[in-house]
Structure 1
Amino acid sequence: MDFLYTDSWKAPCPYNPKLDLKDIIIYDTTLRDGEQTPGVCFTKEQKLEIARKLDELGIPQIEAGFPRVSKREAEIVKAIANEGLNAVILALCRTKKEDIDIAIDCDVDGIITFIATSPLHLKYKFNKSLDEILEIAIKAVEYAKDHGLFVAFSAEDATRTPIEDLIKVHKKAEEAKADRVHIADTTGVATPQSMEFIVKNLKENLTSAYIGVHCHNDFNLALINSIYGLISGAKAVSTTVNGIGERAGNTALEELIMALTVLYDVDLKLNLEVLPELCKMVEEYSGIKVPKNKPIVGELVFSHESGIHVDAVIKNPLTYEPFLPEKIGLKRNIILGKHSGKNAIRYKLELMGIKVDEDKLNKIVEKVKELRESGIIIDDKKFLEIVNNILK
């Protein structure tokens, strides 16, 4: 296996399998589950802008909202459905006729309808048996299909539902002509192993409906659980931009896309350069600040300070980057500080068109380290000030 490369935009990972995942459907729920983040409330124009940007990225399905929530929400979902986007537009509905009727009035292409199936929810939320819940669910699926909608049925709290019950519920949903069935890890308690077990067992018992996974991030496992779901036989996966959502959030769209693309060599046929702009937009509109070290789009992800790292990155960026930032429309940044070496300083000077001799270079390096250790940030302005003082 050849470990060496010279012209790739991503670093080879020879121990990772190349996944033969075709026709993966990402159904992004930023506008629904993402907006259920406490304190988040998008305006109509904000939702439309996010939907347009998701469509520009090339996301196949967009869950536009929960129309039953309010008249305003229904108006927004309808506006998105009539925006002329390439994406299939979905709306969330409870297993209630009135919810589905509102979704139909919103002109959506399909619905995701849900009801809880775990013993915990059956006892404390519904005080009903599984068979009673199943009857409600099937009527809702049949009603939506009778009205020509794409229907995804989601078993809420699926990962805490006994597998025999989960199979029973989803087989009945399939018999009612549901197009897709969802495994919802509602409280983020699944592990990759349990997700694999559930997906494989469910897949063995279904013949027409395909599987989707909807993962929450309570234990920081949403991304890997989503990937294991796909590896195990699921075809659809739920995401939110920046991983926003209830409690600890959902599977982050940008992380899933780049993990599949870079690590598993899956061609999702997406316009990757749109990602940073989309993530910035959702950060601004949601008011939820993206950490500086956020994977993929954090401002420090392609920044380098350590002298050893910078020296190598100057020669070949992939020595310390898993993929080139230009692939998603970003740029790397060389940060000057206490860990900077001569090559980093020399490189920064070259970028600024400044030439110095070795003696002056050593003095600049020393001054940069000294000032940074005293608490001063060495931005371009401060760096020029240091250089000018030494060159006097």
Structure 2
Amino acid sequence: MREVIFNNKNNLLQLEEHFYQLVDVEEPNTFHNLFPYKEIPKIAFNDRIVPHNMPEDIWITDTTFRDGQQSRAPYTPEQIVTIYDYLNKLGGPNGKIRQSEFFLYSKKDQEAVYKCLERGYKFPEVTSWIRANKKDFQLVKDLGLRETGILVSCSDYHIFYKMHMTRKEVMNLYLSVIRECLETGVSPRCHLEDITRSDIYGFVIPFCVELMKLMDEYKIPIKIRACDTMGYGVNFPGAVIPRSVPGIIYGLTTHAGVPSELIEWHGHNDFYKAVNNSTTAWLYGASGVNCSLFGIGERTGNTPLEAMVFEYAQLRGTLDGMDTRVITELAEYFEKEIGYKQPIQTPFVGRNFNVTRAGIHADGLLKNEEIYNIFDTKKFLNRPPLVAISNTSGLAGIAYWINNYYNLSDERKVDKNSELVKMIKDWVDLQYAQGRVTALTDNEIVVQITDCCKKLNVVL
């Protein structure tokens, strides 16, 4: 008999109609109608809408030291500890950056883990990523970690073509591995690789149902990380699974019975959808979104952690104690100490993210910076809006640059009609009349301003 349950979120009685069992197919279902390899992937719709299901508590988890290291030279243990310190400060006293995951393969990896554990921070909690074997499980336990990530690839692409197994064989293998992990007392975090090309109701849901049974048996939490490995996920209402992020999260919570606090979304940015898909996962029932600093990760990268900090604030109306100024500190550390330079237009951290070159925009900034700045970037990122001086800057742009560069108080700010600004404008125009095509550097402008101030007997 099907059970009637009361849903505390929508205050409705609901009849649970579905019971999903493993569909053990002979041939792989690769969804070539959606993923024709010789064509661009297709986004199809069936207009089946699932409800929003935002968890009461949402958070960010970090993979900078795991997935983030798979696309660059490894960080040194000292660099890892410094970045970990920054993550603790950025996440704030409420631990909005809940966890940070580490490799445990090498002595350097283990050294970094020990040093981070010595910090004694509650957040981010140190968690790990290991190979699925007893030796590595024991290593996790010896290090004093409570949890580890385990790869459980779930699409037929992986099951049939990479592992050369059937769905039933691979499910039995995974369950035996998870059971071994639970026997050591370690909480497994199951990374469902390639979930956006998997048979959601023929494999993923039945597998997660079995995981929930193991959790009940061992009384140890089992997390589900939904991994959009290839960035195929879409957030559009009514899109079909397996590409539908709302559909995947709904299936995990409603039909597999996975609690929101045990679900994470791990997105990649192959189709520019990493941030939107992560936000969508929150909206439809995942408590965690897994990110890396500046989106550094495999191929096009992961969901940028700093982006989700601001997504959180927009959804909740508060930063809940997160210190966003640390984002600028991290960007500077990565550039000066690690040698990683941000693309200049990158939101929040790129050199030009709040710099305007258009004279008409600069005129607006001069009158009221709210007109052309996304928020108070000086308050939240220690970066006031700036203008770059070029042939399109105009008088207003030059005045704005001078006032900000020299940090002039309101009573000392120069007006766009001042003689100093006009002299600089004439000089700028001459540079471009003589064939210059690039923006002027700060040093060039300062030299010219110094010269003009002497001629005008003006002190800034």
TM-score range, shorter chain: 0.7 to 0.9
Q: Deviation of residue 359 (structure 1)?
A: 5.7
SS of alignment partner, residue 279 of structure 2: helix
Letter in 1 for 2:189: A
Closer/same/farther in 2, CA of residues 29 and 267 from structure 1, 3 Å limit: same
- Which deviates further from its counterpart, 19-28 or 46-55? 19-28
Deviation per residue, 1:202-233 (Å, 9 max, x gap): 21123354321001111221111111111111
SS of alignment partner, residue 192 of structure 1: coil
Aligned to 1:339: 392
Stretches of structure 1 that go unaligned for 5 or more consecutive residues are: 1-17
- Contact kept, 8 Å, 2:235 with 2:277, in 1: the verdict is yes
Aligned to 2:224: 181
Q: TM-score, normalised by structure 1?
A: 0.86
- Contact kept, 8 Å, 2:252 with 2:258, in 1: the verdict is no
- Contact kept, 8 Å, 2:62 with 2:292, in 1: the verdict is yes
Task: Choose the corresponding residue for 2:307, options 243, 252, 255.
Answer: 255
In 2, the alpha carbon distance for the partners of 1:81 and 1:109 equals 12
- Which deviates further from its counterpart, 130-139 or 116-125? 130-139
SS of alignment partner, residue 266 of structure 2: strand
Does residue 166 (structure 1) correspond to residue 204 (structure 2)? The answer is yes
Closer/same/farther in 2, CA of residues 72 and 323 from structure 1, 3 Å limit: same
SS of alignment partner, residue 94 of structure 1: coil
Q: Deviation of residue 254 (structure 1)?
A: 0.8
Aligned to 1:79: 115
- Which deviates further from its counterpart, 308-317 or 254-263? 254-263
- Contact kept, 8 Å, 2:137 with 2:184, in 1: the verdict is no
Letter in 1 for 2:199: P
Does residue 195 (structure 1) correspond to residue 245 (structure 2)? The answer is yes
- Contact kept, 8 Å, 2:102 with 2:109, in 1: the verdict is yes
Aligned to 1:51: 84
Does residue 330 (structure 1) correspond to residue 383 (structure 2)? The answer is yes
Closer/same/farther in 2, CA of residues 128 and 104 from structure 1, 3 Å limit: same
Q: Deviation of residue 284 (structure 1)?
A: 5.0
Closer/same/farther in 2, CA of residues 81 and 146 from structure 1, 3 Å limit: farther
In 1, the alpha carbon distance for the partners of 2:277 and 2:146 equals 28
Aligned to 1:386: 448
Task: Choose the corresponding residue for 1:362, options 413, 417, 422.
Answer: 422
In 1, the alpha carbon distance for the partners of 2:366 and 2:419 equals 22
In 1, the alpha carbon distance for the partners of 2:355 and 2:292 equals 25
In 2, the alpha carbon distance for the partners of 1:20 and 1:126 equals 36
Aligned to 1:274: 326
Aligned to 1:313: 365
Task: Choose the corresponding residue for 1:371, options 418, 422, 431.
Answer: 431
In 2, the alpha carbon distance for the partners of 1:114 and 1:285 equals 32
Aligned to 1:206: 256
- Contact kept, 8 Å, 2:225 with 2:266, in 1: the verdict is yes
Aligned to 1:7: none
SS of alignment partner, residue 422 of structure 2: helix
In 1, the alpha carbon distance for the partners of 2:209 and 2:267 equals 21
Q: Deviation of residue 293 (structure 1)?
A: 0.7
Letter in 2 for 1:71: K
SS of alignment partner, residue 151 of structure 2: strand
Q: Deviation of residue 114 (structure 1)?
A: 1.8
Aligned to 2:297: 245
- Contact kept, 8 Å, 1:242 with 1:283, in 2: the verdict is no
In 1, the alpha carbon distance for the partners of 2:331 and 2:419 equals 44
- Contact kept, 8 Å, 1:110 with 1:150, in 2: the verdict is yes
Closer/same/farther in 2, CA of residues 359 and 55 from structure 1, 3 Å limit: closer
In 1, the alpha carbon distance for the partners of 2:320 and 2:396 equals 38
- Contact kept, 8 Å, 1:40 with 1:287, in 2: the verdict is no
Letter in 2 for 1:313: L
In 2, the alpha carbon distance for the partners of 1:286 and 1:167 equals 42
Aligned residues: 373
Does residue 118 (structure 1) correspond to residue 155 (structure 2)? The answer is yes
- Contact kept, 8 Å, 2:54 with 2:286, in 1: the verdict is no
SS of alignment partner, residue 191 of structure 1: coil
Task: Choose the corresponding residue for 2:269, options 197, 200, 217.
Answer: 217
Letter in 2 for 1:196: P
In 1, the alpha carbon distance for the partners of 2:345 and 2:255 equals 42
Identify the structure with the greater helix proportion: 1
Q: TM-score, normalised by structure 2?
A: 0.74
In 2, the alpha carbon distance for the partners of 1:83 and 1:130 equals 43
- Contact kept, 8 Å, 1:40 with 1:286, in 2: the verdict is no
Q: Deviation of residue 349 (structure 1)?
A: 4.5
In 1, the alpha carbon distance for the partners of 2:383 and 2:176 equals 49
Q: Deviation of residue 287 (structure 1)?
A: 4.1
Superposition pairs for residues 83-122 of structure 1, below 5 Å? 83-87=119-123, 88-122=125-159
Closer/same/farther in 2, CA of residues 360 and 314 from structure 1, 3 Å limit: closer
In 2, the alpha carbon distance for the partners of 1:359 and 1:155 equals 65
State percent identity of aligned pairs: 25
- Contact kept, 8 Å, 2:54 with 2:282, in 1: the verdict is no
- Which deviates further from its counterpart, 27-36 or 103-112? 103-112
Q: Which structure's CA Rg is the greater one?
A: 2
- Contact kept, 8 Å, 2:225 with 2:265, in 1: the verdict is yes
SS of alignment partner, residue 343 of structure 2: coil
- Contact kept, 8 Å, 2:81 with 2:116, in 1: the verdict is yes
In 2, the alpha carbon distance for the partners of 1:137 and 1:19 equals 29
